[in-house]
Structure 1
Amino acid sequence: MSVRMLSRFRAITHYMKLPDDYEDSQGLQFRKEDLNQREVNQIFGGAHLPAPMANKLLRILHGRRVAGTLNDPNLQVNTAQFSASDQRKALAYLRANIPVDEVINAGLRAEDELKLLEREEDGEQKPVETSPQDLPPDTATNEIPIPTGRLPRRRESDSPYGVSPLDRIRAHNIAKREAEEKRLEEERKKREEEEALGNIGTLQTQQEKPKKLSPMMQKMVERATSDLKEPPEMKAWERLLPQAIMTVLIFAGCAAYAIVYTPPKRSERLWPDIPPAAATCLALVGINLTVWVSWRLPPLWALLNRYFIVVAATPRPFQLIGAIFSHQNFSHAMLNMVGLWFFGTRLHDEIGRGNFLAIYFASGALGFMSSLARLVLTDGLIYTTLGASGAVYGVIAAFFWLHRYDEFKLLGYPPDPMSGPQGLAFIGLILGLHILPLFSKKAHNIDIPSHLGGILAGVVGADLVKKHMDERARVRAERLKTMGTLEGVVQVKEKGPEKAPQTAAGR
């Protein structure tokens, strides 16, 4: 029985793995099988170059990329028979299909050449292994041997057993680490030079050649940009007190609206053919998308920056309302709108428009107030926040709180007779997903305090709404009961005089 060992071919791409018997005239194998004539014609554009010659050129150029000798003029004799156009096409093919870090390989070779020169200047022993370019011309033929592209190598070990694989791996890792350290040092120096010139990081090209704006666009940008060089000097309570008062006023307004709201008649509704829950949520979605589009209109930037985003350095009370409808990222807006539609319509059907809008605005306001307090008290004055996430999480929390003991199934799972998780489990899951990142050291751009504030407002609001609705139901039931008693008394009084003559006649 014959057994075939299958192994995947891997082309040599690193300088430290260059074979000891490497020669530039032979190059390195760049793929498992040579290219056929059809493939060669596709690469070099025509049938002018035979496949064996094309593969030889590709092997030589691949070897030079690994050996760091791509631009060595002494080795051009091995590719002199190929045109410059064919060499460019071959090199382009190799770079597109066989990734090689030519810069690092050339740097490693340059280091080896420098070390070789230093040893010779210090009078150390000549390297044991030599390459033909180090030998004198043949006295018989007076011909200079073809250069191999290999450096004369110093014996790496005095052991009679030679160099072990572990020694080679260690040398490769050391060279790789040194090359990486050199690259990082060069990047650091370059970054320091850029910072000294006023060009920072990846914005260098943009800062050196800023895009020229039209006079009208420049005027709009100036109107929307604050002239403050740093956050104004204010105490924490000076930033938070006006917003706290605004939050209390929003709560009071939401409570009053929920109490006095009366559903309009069908004929008085704007969209009489659409269910009230769908109409309310569609209106909120429309406002959010309108503000998202407004962020793409430069004339509106000044207004949006003033009232539709919560700025920790310069907070304004009306930002707590405007930011609820504001999104700059389309995916952020769509995610919030999907959650609003899915849970908002269900909550609206249960508690009505007045209670629903009260929970929505109260959750958004408390969410931004929580976020602002965290930013002001933790020196986060350089940050801003916006979005309907706090309001939407308030709606979701209110829905699950009203059904905290009800069981839910997702797509029919778990199957009967197994019971699904209760609403409290979903609230706990949402809280866990928000609390865990607070203990993580990884940076994130999610406004967790805003979400938690919205969840708190949603739970408290749902509880108050439930108690209010139960109280109204109890009063209505008592009123109906009283009305039923009065109707019975009226009926008795009406029937009394009719029965009196009959009784007298009977006597």
Structure 2
Amino acid sequence: MSGCSLVGVGAFRSSVQIAFQQLPRPSCGRLRVSPSRCFSLRPLPVPHPPLQCQSAPRPTADRRPVWGSLCGFPSRQGVRARSTKKAKYAVITHYVEVPRNYDDATGLPFREEDLGPAEVVKIFGPSLSTADANRLLHIIHGRRVAGTLEDPELRVNTVMFGPKHMNAALEWLRKTVPVDEITNAGLRAEDELAVLEGGVEEEGQDENVEEQKPSGGWLKGKLFKDIPSNDDIYGPSVFDAIRAKNIARHEELLRKQKEADEAKRLEGEAAFQSGELQTLGQRTLGQVRPPPSPQMQKWIDNATSDLDAPPDMTKTQRILPSAVVALLVSGLFVAFAYYYTPPRRSERLWPDIPPAAATVGLLCLANVAVYLAWKAPPLWGVLNRYFVLTPATPRPLQLFGAMFSHQVFAHALVNLVTLWVLGTRFHDEVGRGEFLATYAGAGAVSFLGSLTAIVLRNRLDLTTLGASGAVYGVAAAYFWLHRFEGFKPFGVIPEAYKGVPGVAFIGLAIGLNVAAALSPTTRMDVAAHLVGLAVGVLAAHLIEIKRALRKGVEGKTPA
């Protein structure tokens, strides 16, 4: 049984969100929400005036490098000379040592071992877990070294931490791990300037530069480790050589680039229409993303939030309205199940179709309809608001819309096949009223559990959707009613044996979800699955109580 899709910034993303992030983003500084409602940032171009620094003389073997220049930054040569010294904690503290695979969401180690629980409480207090505290320190230390401490484009990776925790982490790192933040930021600015000049190729070195030294840098979330650097401070500058080369081939590059952009734009539009979307792991440095058509851009803007950050709400304000609606609607379905009377065959809409097939079939068709709606860009705005559970901007109706919503075909297929196989059997046994109450109650309450778990963990960058919680509830209810009976799936168990008891399937589902929760790369919404299982078992127990009461009433004889 496939899990609910749990996505977010970085590794946890839905296919439609990934598609949006393949598009070139317009030049504005708004934080936007993609079709899966995960927050991401559009690039904010910042003008970079040319640095006119007079570098200090080259240090000799018996002389320390002279620090200082006309613009307040030390020269590259001086930084490289100092970077050969061993750091206090044997960690990276210089910009030129930043590894090629550096990522802001992961950061850099700030010492040989992470902080323990006692140290975390001493620095941050009891409001932050040990794992989150160490993650925050890794990110902040990486930004100090990469020169991106004030970069607004990277705030999405620390949106779940408050200003108090951010300031505490920065203050502790500055006291504990010395880093020349001004120098690192200056070197990053030089590398950004080289890229913005248009003469640095990400996938290779400049063939006209005889001697090249590795450098480090961060631009728009990417490392540029191969930017040429000329150690001869009295010779021609690298920028002059790059500019001269570009002038010679300017016209040819413009023509080729225009042809390539047009071809990739057409290819990208075809990929959006066919659903064959490229994953983030398949992107490479220097790859040009196709721009959307004007109509596609209009649909994207309609589905994009103009919020700069998640609304300032307490945990109770995020959870309570959805909890009230979920419990109220679940109670109404329980009352419906109690008083529901099946209609006669002549009164049914499709008298020749079994009631179980009609009920489960309509639920499957509703899921298929929403899946197809995700393929229609004009509907993305409505789907974002009501068919994805977004703890950053919660709406109570999302609890019910999300249980019919799938963006991946395999996810929808596994859920609907399971619903048909087990749902029709459960429906035949308990009737339409109890079946619908179990399905709706398990779906809504399971997403309420997921919402609560995400909010309490301060992971407002995550979103979730799928019918798995409701399907888990129906499956658990069916197996609990037959918890001691033997099942022989696919006929693999010989006739001489009783088979696998129903309670074993429930235990297997719990075990698989616990194993997924322990995996660092899981994309399953484990909280929704486990809550759906619990609601299904509770529904089966209430059905057994109802049966016992009915038998007791029918067994009484009038006096």
Question: Equivalents in 2 of 1:320, 1:332: separation in Å?
Answer: 18
**Does 273-282 or 223-232 show the bigger shift?**
223-232
CA displacement at 1:439 relative to structure 2: 3.0
1:187–1:261 distance in 2 versus 1, CA, 3 Å: closer
Q: Are the aligned partners of 2:327 and 2:445 in contact in 1 as well (CA < 8 Å)?
A: no
Question: Equivalents in 1 of 2:221, 2:407: separation in Å?
Answer: 29
Q: What is the identity, as a one-letter code, of the residue corresponding to 1:253?
A: L
Residue 512 of structure 2 corresponds to residue 433 of structure 1? yes
Residues 414-445 of structure 1 show CA distances to partners (whole Å, capped at 9, x for unaligned) of 324332221112211111111223233x2210
Partner of 1:465: 543
Partner of 1:450: 528
Partner of 2:397: 318
Residues 17-37 of structure 1 show CA distances to partners (whole Å, capped at 9, x for unaligned) of xxxxxxxxxxxxxxxxxxxxx
Q: Secondary structure at the match of 1:411?
A: helix
Across the two proteins, how many residue pairs are aligned to each other? 299
Residue 433 of structure 2 corresponds to residue 354 of structure 1? yes
| Structure (1 or 2) with the larger CA radius of gyration | 1
Q: Secondary structure at the match of 1:310?
A: coil
1:202–1:445 distance in 2 versus 1, CA, 3 Å: closer
Map 1:133-172 → 2, pairs under 5 A: none
Q: Secondary structure at the match of 1:393?
A: helix
Partner of 1:212: 291
Q: 2:219 aligns with which of 188, 196, 214?
A: 196
1:408–1:277 distance in 2 versus 1, CA, 3 Å: same
Q: 1:421 aligns with which of 478, 500, 513?
A: 500
Partner of 2:116: none
CA displacement at 1:185 relative to structure 2: 5.3
Residues 174-203 of structure 1 show CA distances to partners (whole Å, capped at 9, x for unaligned) of xxxxxxxxxx95666969977425658879
**Does 280-289 or 405-414 show the bigger shift?**
405-414
**Does 304-313 or 185-194 show the bigger shift?**
185-194
Map 1:255-404 → 2, pairs under 5 A: 255-404=334-483
Residues 314-342 of structure 1 show CA distances to partners (whole Å, capped at 9, x for unaligned) of 11000010001000011100000000001
1:205–1:403 distance in 2 versus 1, CA, 3 Å: closer
1:208–1:251 distance in 2 versus 1, CA, 3 Å: same
1:465–1:215 distance in 2 versus 1, CA, 3 Å: same
Residue 331 of structure 2 corresponds to residue 252 of structure 1? yes
Q: Secondary structure at the match of 2:442?
A: helix
Question: Equivalents in 2 of 1:306, 1:187: separation in Å?
Answer: 36
Q: Secondary structure at the match of 2:407?
A: coil
Question: Equivalents in 2 of 1:413, 1:368: separation in Å?
Answer: 35
Residues 203-231 of structure 1 show CA distances to partners (whole Å, capped at 9, x for unaligned) of 97799744333333222211111111221
1:399–1:378 distance in 2 versus 1, CA, 3 Å: same
Moved over 4 A (4+): 184-194, 197-210
Q: What is the identity, as a one-letter code, of the residue corresponding to 2:521?
A: A
Task: Considering fraction of residues, name the structure with more helix.
Answer: 1
Question: Equivalents in 2 of 1:331, 1:274: separation in Å?
Answer: 28
Q: Secondary structure at the match of 1:385?
A: strand
Q: 2:317 aligns with which of 230, 233, 238?
A: 238
Question: Equivalents in 1 of 2:443, 2:283: separation in Å?
Answer: 39
Question: Equivalents in 1 of 2:99, 2:456: separation in Å?
Answer: 38
1:210–1:407 distance in 2 versus 1, CA, 3 Å: closer
1:186–1:217 distance in 2 versus 1, CA, 3 Å: closer
Q: What is the identity, as a one-letter code, of the residue corresponding to 2:553?
A: V
Question: Equivalents in 2 of 1:282, 1:300: separation in Å?
Answer: 24
Q: Are the aligned partners of 1:199 and 1:207 in contact in 2 as well (CA < 8 Å)?
A: no
Q: Secondary structure at the match of 2:490?
A: coil
Q: Are the aligned partners of 2:389 and 2:465 in contact in 1 as well (CA < 8 Å)?
A: yes
Question: Equivalents in 1 of 2:405, 2:555: separation in Å?
Answer: 43
Residues 342-366 of structure 1 show CA distances to partners (whole Å, capped at 9, x for unaligned) of 1000000000000000000100111
Question: Equivalents in 2 of 1:291, 1:299: separation in Å?
Answer: 13
Question: Equivalents in 1 of 2:217, 2:552: separation in Å?
Answer: 74
Partner of 2:553: 475
Q: Are the aligned partners of 1:310 and 1:323 in contact in 2 as well (CA < 8 Å)?
A: yes
Q: Secondary structure at the match of 2:291?
A: coil
Q: Are the aligned partners of 1:194 and 1:204 in contact in 2 as well (CA < 8 Å)?
A: no
Q: Secondary structure at the match of 2:470?
A: helix
Q: Are the aligned partners of 1:413 and 1:420 in contact in 2 as well (CA < 8 Å)?
A: no
Question: Equivalents in 2 of 1:452, 1:467: separation in Å?
Answer: 23
Q: Secondary structure at the match of 2:487?
A: coil
1:381–1:476 distance in 2 versus 1, CA, 3 Å: same
Question: Equivalents in 2 of 1:398, 1:246: separation in Å?
Answer: 23
Question: Equivalents in 1 of 2:494, 2:374: separation in Å?
Answer: 47
Q: Secondary structure at the match of 1:373?
A: helix
Q: What is the identity, as a one-letter code, of the residue corresponding to 1:396?
A: A
> What's the C-alpha RMSD, in Å, of the aligned pairs?
2.8
Q: Are the aligned partners of 2:516 and 2:524 in contact in 1 as well (CA < 8 Å)?
A: no
TM-score normalised by L of structure 2: 0.50
Residues 122-156 of structure 1 show CA distances to partners (whole Å, capped at 9, x for unaligned) of xxxxxxxxxxxxxxxxxxxxxxxxxxxxxxxxxxx
CA displacement at 1:469 relative to structure 2: 2.6
Residues 440-472 of structure 1 show CA distances to partners (whole Å, capped at 9, x for unaligned) of 3x2210001000010000000111012113322
Question: Equivalents in 2 of 1:463, 1:187: separation in Å?
Answer: 53
Question: Equivalents in 2 of 1:420, 1:202: separation in Å?
Answer: 44
Name structure 1 gaps, 5 residues minimum: 1-183, 486-507
TM-score normalised by L of structure 1: 0.55
Q: Are the aligned partners of 1:199 and 1:208 in contact in 2 as well (CA < 8 Å)?
A: no
1:195–1:265 distance in 2 versus 1, CA, 3 Å: farther
Residues 48-100 of structure 1 show CA distances to partners (whole Å, capped at 9, x for unaligned) of xxxxxxxxxxxxxxxxxxxxxxxxxxxxxxxxxxxxxxxxxxxxxxxxxxxxx
Q: Secondary structure at the match of 2:528?
A: helix
